[in-house]
Structure 1
Amino acid sequence: MIKRILIANRGEIAHRIIKACRELNITSIAIYSEADKNSLHVRRADEAYLIGPPPANESYLNKEKIIELAKKVKADAIHPGYGFLSENYEFIELVEKSGIIFIGPSSASVKLMGGKTEARTLMKQNNVPIVPGTTEPISNIEEGKKIAKEIGYPIMLKAVSGGGGKGMRKVFSQQEFENAFNLATSESKKAFGNSEVYIEKYIENPKHIEVQILADKHGNYLHLFERECSVQRRHQKVIEEAPSITINENIRKKITQTAIQAAKACNYYNAGTIEFLLDKNKNFYFLEMNTRLQVEHPVTEMITGFDIVKEQIKIAEGKELSIKQEDLNIFGHAIECRIYAEDVENNFSPSTGKITLHRLTSGPGIRIERGIDVSSDVPIYYDPMLAKVIAWGSNREEAIARMKRALSEYQICGVITNIPFYKWILSQEEFLDGSFDINFIENKFIPLIPNKWKENLPEEYEEVIASLSALLKEEKKNNSASYNKSKKSSWRNLLYE
């Protein structure tokens, strides 16, 4: 039995895991960097220990120090959450060798699915449909041009070790290939320490559909239905829903069974997600597997009534799945909005500062997963997500109405947030009728933002500008509420038409 869990993460996901531990009567052990000493997860955990300086590579990414601390405080298990070390097979190997339980899949499964080309090869061998393209890295520009011509433009260059939209470039012609190849390999090297890229056919105007799976160490597998994750910005999800309104029962049956087939191919256990692209003809293709808990897991929990985090812990203890596929049903509809500390009108640059007011929203069907409270610091060092607002309704229309109400009531002051951005999305016809695809924000929203010259910069330059902006900017004296009211750009005016 697991009695003490060290949570190798921070923010809202650490707080979420703490809640699960409390319900299971398990001692929660938090770690924190010097920048997070006032964080909510530090105050809510049963125990909390300083792990290092603010930079992530000296704290939340310090494998050896985390395991050393886990041994010192007599933790039975480590839960990685998502991000940081959650999909680092070397870290998982170290945990396994230390005798501490890792709450997640085996290092072998993570290694197998972590390499994009290896994963594509494995899926192809197991009759899981993949996007047309290469299953080996491209060694040079001339080889890449030849393959791209055979596949047919447009194509995507994608980092072999990629994730979160890093190391990805759309290429529409042979003339663009060399520059895109150089940018993709450079960004991939910087983000993942591996410059290798591969080619996929670019599927135009697709939907992004993912399937939540669970498996135990006894060979039992099940799915918790699908999520719609097509509202994205630069390949990163912004709004997630469950179930998807795009697919019917016939496609649902096929895509969920294919997801289980993919998980079995790598002998997977614990929680994981199989991601697919769905084209205009409703054909779906394997995109990647996320070998961890997803940010958007709450929408699945809301439509199934099932606690995924608690089940993760039970699986890690060696127990069989507590439910069977036939016991699961879809109840209603759920939507999640990720609340970020970012200035949408300043190219989505991070907004740093101290939370001076945090007034939660509530009411029927509303759930908040948060990593902040009053006096919490929002530093530059980490992902700027503050919280997640989840709205459930008996149908999609009710879920949207509840989300609109919740966002109008949720108040965060001290930093700028993207809450008005979500109000805009939820008012758009394409979102309401479900006709949106992964290019929705790029095509409909980005042209409305001032300072559009930034859009044409290479992505790596955008990141530098955003980081410098946040570092040099003094904390704004006006709180987010008064700031939001004072702005008069065209997209904000759309909120009140």
Structure 2
Amino acid sequence: MFRKVLVANRAAVADRVIRALRELGIPSVAVYSEADAALPYWKSADEAYLLGPAAAQASYLNQAAILNVARECGADALHPGYGFLSENADFADAVEAAGMTFIGPSPSLIRQLGHKTQARDLMRRHGMPMTRSSAVLSDADDLRQAANDLGFPLLIKPAGGGGGIGMLPIRGPQDIESSWQQARALAQRCFAQPDLYVEQLIEAPRHIEFQFLADRYGGVRCIFERDCSTQRRHQKVLEEAPAPGLDRTVVADMAARLEGILSALKYNVIGTVEMLYTPQSGFVFLEVNTRLQVEHAVTEAVTGIDLVHAQIRLAAGERISAVLPETISLSGHAVEARVYAEDPVRFLPSPGLLKAFDPPSGPGIRVETGYCSGVKVSSYYDPMLAKVIAHGDTRDQALDRLAVALSSFRIEGVKNNIPFLQQALANPDFRRGQLSTAMVERIQTMACAA
């Protein structure tokens, strides 16, 4: 096992990983920026170091500064969390070149699967079903030609990034020039990588993802699936496990198929295969996330598997047969709400001072956060304040518990999206499990009509 692990992230995920390391008896090292100097997450680590100024490029994306801290404190491993450098193959290479273990998939896998068009080509060769798509596009004329070949509607996407950032629908020729310019600017700004491609747009699908753990010896296990269809701006706000209303045989068949593909790729440590689903198309491939997911806690709730413990142990070289039980069963249902400091109607960030921050508690409720009362929500980072996870014997019980928990979550000083989350949880279609990526628009339309 590792002697000491540096956690190269912030807020909720850093707090989560630090807790897992403490439970495993491994000393932890936290890092923080000047903007996060008052936040509580890093104070629970065994050691903590200031990285630099507030801007992410000068702190949480500053590879040299992070590696310097890791060397100075004597860490022999680094956990990247999610976001920031978690899917940066060059950084993973640099961690290993410095004599440390990167607690994630091998750099070569991150590189292969991190570039979306290359990942699609690779998975297509292994028989994965997917929509038609283009290669990387050179300019708007290339985009016009791709549109002629594929037909409308299309979705233009960054090839070198994820998280729903920079994805824009193209419904006709009139959208081509503006979509090209906007998507290219977003890809360059957010990922320092302007490559774009287009794929056929599936209208209002469900977004289903399969959670995987794997060792370095060819062992791969699927830890069931999550439904992440409820999204705003292509970014998830409500996630649940298992996916409601799907034929369990169909889900199990796809999971087994994915296990075979990832085993053939010699995939290791942790990852998620994201899929789109409609009754007409079945499952089609979207992307592979080579990291721990924000929504991992709902899988933990329904399986009893601590995914962060498993990730660390697998990265340390343990076999999956030693990390996971032979049989993993589903127990009840879990739903997670992402609580953001943002306007609940326009979904625009709302940074500022948290005058009060009192998370809920109760039966079946778990909260992940890196904030407390009296600290500032910075404009430099993602505005997520907390994740509230509710577990119940049934989906209805989990939803009811989540609604009660959110109603008792006291947040003062910044706007937050709890009013929207409550609307979603009360929506009849959502309650019936009639989910799709168009759910947020439907909820907003119904709210306006009322």
Q: Place the TM-score, normalised by the shorter chain, in its bin.
A: over 0.9
For residue 417 of structure 1, what is the aligned residue in structure 2? 416
Structure 2 vs 1, CA of residues 90 and 201 (structure 1 numbering), >3 Å: closer, same or farther? same
Q: Please report how far the alpha carbon of residue 126 of structure 1 lies from its aligned counterpart in structure 2 after TM superposition.
A: 0.6
SS, match of residue 147 in structure 2: helix
Task: Give distance in 2, aligned partners of 1:361 and 1:189.
Answer: 39
| Aligned partners of 1:241 and 1:333 also within 8 Å | yes
What is the SS of the residue equivalent to 2:207?
Answer: strand
2:396 aligned residue: 397
The letter for the 2-side match of 1:115 is H
CA contact (8 A) 2:423 2:443 kept: no
Partner of 1:314: 313
Matching residue of 2:172 = 173
Please give the alpha-carbon distance, in whole angstroms, between the structure 2 residues aligned to 1:262 and 1:190. 33
Q: CA RMSD in A?
A: 1.6
Structure 2 SS opposite 1:406: helix
Matched with 2:151 is: 152
Counterpart of 1:417 in structure 2: which amino acid? N
How far 1:108 moved relative to its partner? 0.4
Give the Cα separation in 2 of the matches to 1:447 and 1:15: 37
Distance 1:141 1:357, change over 3 A: closer
**Contact between 1:169 and 1:180, CA under 8 Å: does it hold in 2?**
yes
Distance in 2 separating the partners of 1:169 and 1:416 = 27
Partner of 2:286: 287
Aligned to 1:473: none
Cα deviation for residue 350 of structure 1 reads: 1.7
Output one character per residue of 1:230-269: Cα deviation in whole Å (capped at 9) or x when no partner: 0000110010000001321121112212332342353221
8 Å contact 1:122–1:265 — kept in the other structure? no
What are the superposed Cα offsets for residues 301-339 of structure 1, whole Å, 9 maximum, x if unpaired?
Answer: 000001000111111111111355741011100000001
Report what 1:24 is aligned to.
24
- For 2:308 and 2:187, the matched residues in 1 are separated by 31
Normalising by the residue count of structure 1, what TM-score does the alignment of the two structures yield?
A: 0.87
**Contact 1:231–1:239 (CA under 8 A) maintained in structure 2:** yes
* Distance in 1 separating the partners of 2:165 and 2:76: 34
Provide the residue aligned with 1:370 in structure 2: 369
Is the CA contact (8 Å cut-off) linking 1:113 and 1:266 kept in structure 2? Answer: no
Counterpart-to-counterpart distance in 1, 2:292 and 2:380? 22
Q: Do 1:205 and 1:280's aligned partners in 2 also have CA atoms closer than 8 Å?
A: no
Conserved 8 A contact 2:153-2:201: yes
> Which region of structure 1 is more displaced relative to structure 2, 381-390 or 196-205?
196-205
Q: Secondary structure at the match of 1:75?
A: coil
Q: CA deviation at 1:186?
A: 2.5
Deviation of 1:278 after TM superposition, in Å, equals: 0.5
- Name the CA distance, whole Å, in 2 between partners of 1:58 and 1:209: 35
Amino acid of the residue matched to residue 319 of structure 1? E
Residue 131 of structure 2 is matched in structure 1 by 131
What is aligned with 1:329? 329
1:162 matched to 2:176? The reply is no
* Cα distance, 1:410 vs structure 2: 1.5
CA offset digits 1:425-464 (Å, max 9, x no partner): 000011011113101112431685xxxxxxxxxxxxxxxx
Count, aligned residues:
449
- Kept after mapping to 2: 8 A contact 1:358/1:373: yes
Name the CA distance, whole Å, in 2 between partners of 1:324 and 1:309: 12
User: Following superposition of structure 1 onto structure 2, how do residues 241-320 of structure 1 map, counting pairs within 5 Å?
Assistant: 241-281=240-280, 283-320=282-319
Tell me how far apart the structure 1 counterparts of residues 216 and 359 of structure 2 sit (CA, whole Å).
Answer: 39
Q: Deviations over 1:4-41 (max 9, x none)?
A: 11110000100001111111111111001111111111
* Cα distance between partner residues in 1 of 2:35 and 2:175: 42
Q: Bigger shift: 58-67 or 320-329?
A: 320-329
Q: TM (normalized to structure 2)?
A: 0.96
2:387 partner amino acid? K
- Following superposition, the deviation at residue 229 of structure 1 comes to 0.2
Runs of 4+ in structure 1 off by over 6 angstroms are none
Question: What's the counterpart of residue 387 of structure 1?
Answer: 386
1:282 Cα offset (Å): 5.3
Contact 1:335/1:392, CA 8 A, preserved across alignment: yes
SS of equivalent to 1:350: coil
- Equivalent-residue separation in structure 2 for 1:273 and 1:418 (angstroms): 26
1:9: which partner in 2? 9
Unaligned segments of structure 2, at least 5 residues? none
Contact 1:31 1:49 in 2 (8 A): yes
Partner of residue 452, structure 1: none
Q: Which amino acid aligns with 2:315?
A: A
CA distance in 2: counterparts of 1:33 and 1:282, whole angstroms: 46
Query: Map of 1:10-159 to 2, 5 A cutoff?
Result: 10-134=10-134, 136-159=135-158
Cα distance, 1:149 vs structure 2? 2.5
2:278 maps to a residue whose letter is D
Shift in Å, 1:110: 0.3
> Match for 1:197: what amino acid?
L
Distance in 2, Cα, partners of 1:84 & 1:425: 29
CA distance, structure 1, for counterparts of residue 142 and residue 407 of structure 2: 53
Taking the aligned partners of 1:2 and 1:446, their CA distance within structure 2 comes to: 51
Please say if residues 371 and 387 of structure 1, whose CA atoms lie closer than 8 Å, have aligned partners that are also in contact.
Answer: yes
Q: Is the 8 Å Cα contact of residues 116 and 287 (structure 2) preserved in structure 1? A: yes
Query: Relative to structure 2, which stretch is displaced further, 142-151 or 65-74?
Result: 142-151
Distance 1:324 1:78, change over 3 A: closer
The 1:51/1:323 distance shift into structure 2, 3 A limit, reads: closer
Q: Following the alignment from structure 1 to structure 2, what is the Cα–Cα distance between the partners of residues 350 and 167?
A: 17
Aligned partners of 1:443, 1:408: CA distance in 2, in Å?
22
Contact 1:214 1:271 in 2 (8 A): yes
* Structure 1 stretch displaced more, 233-242 or 349-358: 349-358
Q: What pairs up with 1:343-354 in 2 under 5 angstroms?
A: 343-345=343-345, 347-354=346-353
Structure-to-structure mapping, 1:195-274, within 5 angstroms: 195-274=194-273
SS in structure 2 of the partner of residue 342 of structure 1: coil
C-alpha distance in structure 1 between counterparts of 2:209 and 2:197, whole Å: 22
Determine the C-alpha separation between the residues in 1 that align with 2:156 and 2:222: 30
Structure 1 CA distance for aligned equivalents of residues 116 and 325 of structure 2: 29
The residue type paired with residue 118 of structure 2 is: E
Say if 1:223 and 1:325, in contact at 8 Å, map to a contact too.
no
SS in structure 1 opposite 2:227?
strand
More moved, 258-267 vs 242-251: 258-267
CA–CA separation in structure 1 for the residues paired with 2:332 and 2:192:
43
Instruction: Give the structure 2 partner of residue 463 of structure 1.
Output: none
* Corresponding position of 2:342: 342
Percent identical residues? 42
Q: Is the 8 A contact 2:313 2:323 kept in 1?
A: no
For the residues of structure 2 that align with 1:9 and 1:111, how far apart are their CA atoms? Answer: 20
Asked whether the equivalents of residues 222 and 325 of structure 1 are also in contact (C-alpha less than 8 Å), the reply is no
